[in-house]
């Protein structure tokens, strides 16, 4: 044993990390320019794009978060990752529009559509959300490794937490500094395949534990533990966190959050054509939905085991459950592969976040305001340095938060605050810069108030005799936390736009012509909007809306992925009844 792990595990981990660092070093050749570093010069095929979307969207926080949530609240923990579930079919529709923006960063979209001030506001809000997002990745990686080393509940647990956190952060920060998004996509392909296999490898071992006794034994244990409690551990709905209203609102919020992801441009646009973008964004994330089933079952089996062992479950035990279960269930070689996979997942996801957030600053602040004549090499160096600063801030945030599930839910909601404006800017021509400001500020203000002063809101509703609002706050508080900011943002965007001057018609015409001109047909970019999108192709245009008729490829893809999402939920329900 060496530092709590068998020597075999260290050997496997060391070989894997050396290989990944070597891949990052090798990728420098493709990341020598700003375009290459940020989007890989748009050269990747479907398989790479699928695994990139899967890898960028799948980090240790997903597996560890679902298992932690399942240990805390039962089957409803599946929504820690599935909160993006029913946004997946919309990814098929979103991807071509994002690819057709022909932008290097998502802030380029905000500047082109709304102005420089809107781009700066987007960078601010998105950066806050992505700091918390990367903090959740670091927390999950650290908690899992700590659990695998058996150092989660020892007296020196805090010292081990800080040590593992700092070492893992430095590893992927260096890797990203070398290889940019090219290294991330190549790592995603390798660790994505491993994550799919390893997501299900531990499940049979967990179910076959004597303390669990298969699906039937697990169900009996969890059903018995649920008696006398308002939370049914075998239900995918939890009255305290994921009730039906929360899940319904998550279905609405998911596409909005996705529309604000800084790495949305690379996930949709690093491929050669629109097809690669669609298959990557929708297909890669669908793989994650399927893997989530394995994570949830593993978490439930481990919960049954803990109940049978008489372990008192708290946040610390829940967050370490992934690492604890892997250490108990897998062989040393498999543990080494799983640990390597966790580190690679952290590296690839953190890499994507680090590159894209840093790109926002270098492209949309440094080149716009500080040094407009900066060379490509100068911009690239700023991107790399800002990326390191971003990682450092995320590291400090991880030290401060320490709660994995709370971190995941926080960044998911914060991104939706600006995702509202992204969606409205694409769907509604009347949306202007003021509308973007008002939408973001109102959504942010309501989110902060609902998140941090719910008792005050309940007291105010009671004092004003607003009985319906009081009932909602009391019985559906988590749903209000999600729905109120969305409603406030949409209302703010509409009112702010209608009460101020309309956007420049030439800017609007040019923008909408661009996003409805397919890649490879650039000669059509000079057409007027009514020529690029003739009346026969328009679907909804009243009130300033501009929505074209979906193509057959769009309809079929949307329905296929919607069906796959429903199939995942049905599969989970059936497994809970075995």
Local mean pLDDT, 10-residue blocks, the chain (578 residues)? 68 74 60 48 62 67 85 92 89 91 87 93 89 83 76 73 79 63 60 66 91 94 88 85 79 86 77 83 88 93 95 84 86 79 71 78 83 82 84 85 69 85 95 96 87 60 51 56 87 96 93 91 89 91 91 95 96 90
Smallest CA-to-CA distance from 359 within 55, 97, 36 is with 36
Q: Which CATH architecture has domain 7-403?
A: Up-down Bundle (1.20)
The whole-number pLDDT of residue 471 equals 44
Q: Which helix (H) or strand (E) holds 539?
A: strand 538-540
Strand partners, 538: 548
- CB-count burial class (<10 Å; 0-12, 13-18, 19+) for 19: middle
Q: Can you read off the two tokens belonging to residue 164?
A: 């593992």
Helix/strand number for the chain, H first, E second? 26, 2
User: What's the confidence (pLDDT) of residue 192?
Assistant: 62
Name the residue ranges covered by the structural domains of the chain. Answer: 7-403
Residue recorded with tokens 């719910």: 454
SS3 of 107-158: the string is HHHHHHHCCHHHHHHHHHHHHHHHHHHHHHHHHHHHHHHHHHCCCCCCCCHH
Are the C-beta atoms of residues 412 and 126 closer than 8 Å to each other? no
Residues forming beta bridges with residue 548, ordered by sequence position = 538
Q: What dihedral do alpha carbons 66, 70, 73, 76 form, nearest 10°?
A: 70
540 three-state secondary structure: strand
Instruction: Report pTM.
Output: 0.81
- Measure CA of the first residue to CA of the last residue in the chain; give whole Å: 39
Closest C-alpha among 342, 329, 322 to residue 405: 322
What was the pLDDT predicted at 326? 85
What CA–CA distances, in Å, run from 283 to 56, 71, 185, 200, 408? 13, 29, 15, 19, 22
Cβ atoms of 83 and 412 within 8 Å: the answer is yes
Q: How far is CA 401 from CA 139, 410, 537, in A?
A: 9, 11, 49
d(CA 518, CA 525): 9
Tokens of 334: 């498999």
Q: Provide the 3-class DSSP secondary structure of residue 519.
A: coil
| Cα 63 to the center of its chain, rounded Å | 13
For the chain, the maximum distance between any two Cα atoms, rounded to a whole number of angstroms, is: 71
């Amino acid at each position: 044993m060496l530092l709590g792990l068998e020597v075999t595990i260290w050997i496997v981990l060391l070989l894997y990390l050396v290989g990944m660092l070597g891949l990052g070093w090798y990728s420098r050749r493709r990341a020598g320019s700003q375009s290459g570093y940020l989007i890989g010069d748009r050269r990747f095929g479907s398989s790479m794009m699928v695994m990139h979307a899967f890898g960028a969207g799948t980090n240790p926080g997903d597996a560890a978060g679902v298992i932690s949530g399942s240990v805390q609240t039962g089957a409803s923990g599946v929504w820690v990752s599935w909160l993006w579930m029913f946004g997946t079919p919309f990814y098929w529709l979103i991807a071509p529009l994002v690819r057709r923006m022909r932008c290097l960063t998502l802030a380029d979209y905000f500047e082109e559509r709304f102005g420089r001030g809107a781009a700066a506001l987007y960078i601010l809000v998105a950066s806050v959300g992505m700091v918390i997002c990367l903090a959740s990745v670091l927390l999950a990686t650290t908690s899992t490794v700590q659990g695998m080393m058996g150092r989660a509940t020892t007296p020196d647990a805090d010292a081990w937490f800080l040590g593992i956190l700092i070492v893992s952060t430095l590893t992927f920060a260096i890797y990203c500094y070398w290889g940019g998004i090219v290294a991330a996509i190549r790592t995603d392909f390798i660790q994505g395949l491993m994550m799919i296999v390893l997501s299900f490898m531990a499940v049979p071992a967990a179910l076959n534990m004597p303390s669990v006794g298969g699906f039937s034994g697990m169900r009996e244990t969890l059903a018995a533990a649920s008696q006398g409690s308002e939370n049914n551990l075998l239900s995918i709905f939890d009255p305290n966190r994921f009730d039906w209203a929360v899940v319904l609102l998550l279905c609405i919020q998911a596409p909005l959050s996705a529309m604000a992801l800084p790495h949305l441009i690379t996930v949709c646009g690093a491929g050669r054509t629109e097809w690669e973008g669609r298959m990557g964004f929708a297909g890669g994330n669908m793989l994650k939905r399927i893997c989530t089933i394995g994570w949830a079952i593993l978490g439930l089996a481990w919960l049954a085991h803990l109940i049978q062992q008489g372990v008192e479950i708290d946040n610390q035990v829940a967050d370490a459950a992934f690492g604890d279960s892997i250490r108990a269930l897998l062989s040393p070689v498999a543990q080494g592969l799983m640990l390597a996979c966790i580190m690679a997942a952290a590296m690839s996801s953190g890499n994507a976040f680090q590159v894209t957030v840093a790109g926002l600053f270098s492209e949309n602040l440094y080149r716009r305001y500080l040094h407009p004549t900066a060379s490509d090499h100068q911009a690239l160096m700023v991107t790399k340095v800002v990326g390191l600063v971003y990682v450092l801030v995320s590291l400090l945030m991880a030290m401060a938060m320490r709660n994995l599930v709370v971190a995941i839910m926080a960044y998911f909601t914060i991104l939706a605050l600006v995702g509202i404006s992204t969606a409205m800017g694409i769907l509604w021509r009347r949306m202007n810069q003021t509308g973007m400001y008002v939408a973001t500020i109102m959504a942010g203000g309501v989110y902060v108030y609902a998140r941090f002063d719910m008792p005050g809101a309940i007291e105010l509703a009671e004092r004003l005799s607003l009985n319906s609002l009081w009932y909602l706050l009391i019985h559906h508080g988590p749903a209000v936390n999600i729905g109120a900011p969305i409603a406030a943002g949409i209302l703010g965007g509409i009112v702010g736009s209608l009460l101020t001057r309309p956007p420049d018609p030439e800017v609007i015409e040019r923008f909408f012509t661009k996003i409805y001109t397919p890649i490879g047909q650039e000669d059509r970019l000079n057409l007027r909007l009514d020529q690029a999108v003739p009346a026969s192709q328009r679907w909804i245009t009243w009130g300033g809306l501009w929505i074209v008729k979906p193509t057959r490829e769009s309809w079929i893809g949307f329905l296929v992925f919607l069906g796959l999402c429903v199939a995942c939920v049905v599969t989970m329900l059936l497994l809970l009844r075995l």
